[in-house]
Amino acid sequence: MRSRLFGFEVRGTVVDTAVAGVLVYLTAYATIDPPGPAFAGPAWVAWLAGAAVGLPVAVRRRWPLPVLGWVAVAAAAATALGVVGIGVIWVTYAPVALALYTAATAAGRVAAAVALAGGLAAPAVTIPWLYDRFGITPADGPGSEVPLWWQVEVGMVTVAIAAAWATGRVVRWRRTVQADSARQLARDAVAAERLRIARELHDIVGHSMSLIAVKASVTNHIATEQPAETRAALSAIERTSRAALTEIRRLLDVLRSDTDTAAELGPSPGTADLSDLADRLRSAGLEVDLRLDGAGELPQAVDLTVFRIVQESLTNVMKHANAGHCQVTVRARDGGVHIEVLDDGRAHRSSGRRSAAQGLIGMRERVTMYGGTLTTGPRPEGGFQVVADIPYVAAEETA
């Protein structure tokens, strides 16, 4: 792809250089041998004016607006000084039209409009002034192939410049439409691929759960009579479930949006990881007092929910509370788990209110899923509190 782009740039530069050379020749030749009164100065001045107007076209793709500004000023100066071909002044403004086309394809709406106004103002001012200064009339070119009227000259230049600008804007619009279409096709392809992956996920879950159900049923019938067969069936269940979980996590990671953090394939975090979380926050300057009571036997889903609630609460403490001390208590007993996160910071979170509210909404959804309760708000003695109760045993039985 890089070599193709480089080759395209090289070809474009070669073409633009050749076009610039042709424009220099035509501009100088039209000045030396025009239909109307010929330029009275030395020929090298005509060639210098032609070079000033035509040569910058060679780099129009790289610097479209600066090139346009240069050639427009050079053409206006040549016209004002009379170093143009009377009757064919449009030849001097041909580089301006080409540079304006390039600028119209590259610039935004406002910049393109300003460029058009500048490109039209230069000939509209200088051509009538040239005709008036030198007193040029149709009688000055009885054998001229074109009429020597400044109105005709201005009209031809205006049509050329306006047509070039309009063509450039149409080209830019088409390129924008094509780019949007390409992006939409890419999004559709991604959506189709994710749909296919979702179907594969459904197949994996269905096949794995069917196999696990069959093996578990067999194990239940032969558990006492055939211990060896029981162990083999349990090993198959373990292998199948682990493989299915790994594939599910991989596929769900693909189904995440591009801005989501990729999920790890390792085990989900739980209350056993709260100590590491507290250590990381202590290293960041927050004094964390962690108390765990009976949390080692929680079901995996509840264990993950407890970790996420504590993690989000501590994140809010670090970001919004400006606290120095935080007490975290997780106590599991009597078919439920009780969570407390108390800090001594500001009771009202003045900064980051939206992100803190979103975190509280997420915690409430996790607790409500198990039929639990969540209480948040300022503490009477100062600081903020998050208190949650999750009846995990009752939730498992009703499931």
For 371, what's the count of Cα atoms within 13 Å in the CB-facing half-sphere? 11
Crossing angle for the helix pair 94-106 and 150-222, to the nearest 10 degrees: 20
- Give the separation between CA 92 and CA 153, rounded to whole angstroms: 11
Which residue ranges make up each domain of the chain?
A: 1-266, 271-398
C-beta neighbour count of 3 within 10 angstroms: 7
The pLDDT score that the predictor gives to residue 186 is: 75
Indicate whether this model's pTM tops 0.85: no
When computed from its CA atoms, the radius of gyration of the chain, rounded to whole angstroms, is: 39
Query: DSSP string spanning 47-58?
Result: HHHHHHHHGGGG
Residue 148 near residue 36, CB atoms below 8 Å: yes
Q: What is the predicted pLDDT for the residue at 365?
A: 76
Query: For residue 69, what are its two tokens?
Result: 């500004």
CA 48 to chain centre: 46
By the 8 A CB rule, do 101 and 147 touch? no
* DSSP assignment letter at 285: T
Q: Return the CATH class of domain 271-398.
A: alpha beta
CA distances to 22, 31, 111 from 232, in Å = 86, 98, 75
H/E segment holding residue 357:
helix 353-369
Q: Three-state SS for 388?
A: strand
Task: Tell me the C-alpha distance between 109 and 55, whole Å.
Answer: 27
- Residues 294 and 132: their CA atoms lie apart, in Å, by 101
Report pLDDT for 349: 47
- List of residues 6+ apart from 39 with CB closer than 8 A: 31, 32, 45, 46, 82, 83, 84, 85
Walk along the chain (399 residues) in steps of 10 and give the mean pLDDT of each run.
54 85 89 81 90 91 91 91 87 92 90 90 90 73 67 89 93 90 78 66 64 67 70 70 65 54 58 87 82 82 85 82 86 88 70 57 79 88 89 50
